[in-house]
Amino acid sequence: MKICLINNLYKPYNRGGAENIVEMIARGLVKAGHDVFVITTKPFTQKHKNTKTQSLSSTPIREHKIYYVNSLYYNLNKLPKFLRLFWHLIDVFDVGSYFQVKRILKIEKPAVVMTHNLKGAGYLIPRAIKKLKIKHIHTLHDIQLLHPSGLMIYKKEKAIDSLFSKIYAWPCCLLFGNPDVVISPSDWLMKMHEDRGFFAKSEKIILPNPVEAITADLNIAKRKSDEVFRFFYAGQIEEHKGVLFLINAFRKLKDHCELIIAGGGVKLNQAKKLARDNKNIKFIGRIGKSEVLDMMKRADALIMPSLCYENSPAVMYEALAAGLPVIASRIGGAEELVRNAAGILFEPSNEKDLIDKIKFARENREKLFNISQKGLEKIKRFGIDNYVNRLVNLL
């Protein structure tokens, strides 16, 4: 079956979890024998021919084609805030993108189009799919359709229902209409959209994101022999990710343990200044996926201190698949992923609660090991082959 995947970002312009998930799905569909092509965006300044990429780096099976459409999305953060408003208006009604995507779909004639994040690709794309009478499956990754920032901050939840947000969300809801199927990795994210009138007539499916490989190393004896207890954070160094909050909490610990921080971002310099008097807080910069997995095998727990509502963070899936226990804010879809004793939850922005959970992890290796086993058993159900089978059953 010929299948089209559309996402605003794709390699070589990957930034975060959503585009990595889309790439994983593309590889999984190709491996299952489907004819896959991808439509994504690129900066105006970059030139790309329509390219083909190997479906699996380790097991070359076939190739899938990638179409690149020009987008101003890559310049968004460079614009003054007042100009970003006009950018979002142009993005929602991007007629140029509409006709480019429609032309590609006419040429390729896919049986189904699976859309993901469309910010920067244009919110008229669902209209093009409907116009061509192609089956449409849309996967939610965040609240980009509800608020232009895609963020909802803890204790500032009312912003999502402000007049500004409602004015923004109304055309998004109208343009997206009712895809044949809407997939959300979490109940929380689906409910956020349902409560605001999105996808009233669509079939709705809760399907956690896939994991490509189980990389667990559950050698508790090896971890016990290491005198240093390591906590690990991997992600953006931004205030809404809770990194500054985490550093402040960690500085108050007197236990012999380390905090390893991987990633980059606007708040990196501020984070380093905050941690400069604590030799147990170490920054290792941006690292690739393989380095992240290696670090997870050396760590004793992953900490996700987010102060914003996240859907289903990819790094949490990777940690669970690596047999690494997760300590996370009880917020958004992250809570669903580690509930039922598959992880440790703390109240968002509650420093004392976080410190208590860190101490519990430090002092209870056996219990932490049992938590990692429960997380691993849970994540095994989310393998890419199972995910692709669920997708195919929807076609």
Q: In whole angstroms, how large is the CA radius of gyration of the chain?
A: 21
pLDDT category of residue 302 using cuts at 50, 70 and 90:
very high
pLDDT-wise least confident of 222-226, 327-331, 387-391: 222-226
Looking at the fold, whether 13 and 158 belong to one and the same domain comes out as: yes
Do 206 and 229 share a domain, yes or no?
no
Residue 321 sits in a domain of what CATH number? Answer: 3.40.50.2000
Q: Are residue 120 and residue 258 in the same domain, yes or no? A: no
Strand 326-329 to 344-346 pairing = parallel
162 & 88 share domain: yes
Residue 183, strand partner residues: 139, 205
pLDDT at 49 over 70: no
Residues 229 and 277 grouped into a single domain: yes
| Co-location of 284 and 178 in the same domain | no
Give pLDDT, residue 61: 44
For 204-240, the pLDDT digits (tens) are: 999 999 988 766 655 444 455 567 899 999 999 999 9
Residue 127 is part of which domain span?
A: 2-211+382-393
At residue 392, does pLDDT exceed 80? Answer: yes
Its pTM stands at: 0.89
Please indicate, yes or no, whether residues 76 and 181 belong to a single structural domain of this protein: yes
| 138 in the same domain as 236 | no
Residue 312: partners with Cβ closer than 8 Å, 6 or more residues away: 185, 186, 189, 208, 209, 333, 334, 336, 337
Looking at the fold, whether 205 and 66 belong to one and the same domain comes out as: yes
Quote the mean pLDDT of the chain. Answer: 89
- Residue 285 and residue 370 in one domain: yes
Residue 116 CA to residue 119 CA, distance in Å, equals 9
pLDDT of the residue at 256? 79
301 and 326 in contact (C-beta within 8 Å)? yes
From CA 308, how far away is CA 299, in angstroms rounded? 24
Which residues, other chains included, contact 188 with Cβ-Cβ below 8 Å and sequence gap of 6+?
Answer: 309, 311, 332, 333, 335, 336
Q: Could you give the 3-state DSSP secondary structure of residue 282? A: strand
User: How many structural domains does the chain have?
Assistant: 2
Are 191 and 237 contained in the same domain? no
Same domain, 237 and 362: yes
* Confidence (pLDDT) at 88: 78
d(CA 162, CA 249): 32
pLDDT tens-place string over residues 246-284: 999 999 987 779 999 999 999 999 999 999 999 999 999
Inter-residue long-range contacts of 167-170, CB under 8 Å, 24+ positions, other chains counted: 168/88, 169/145, 169/196
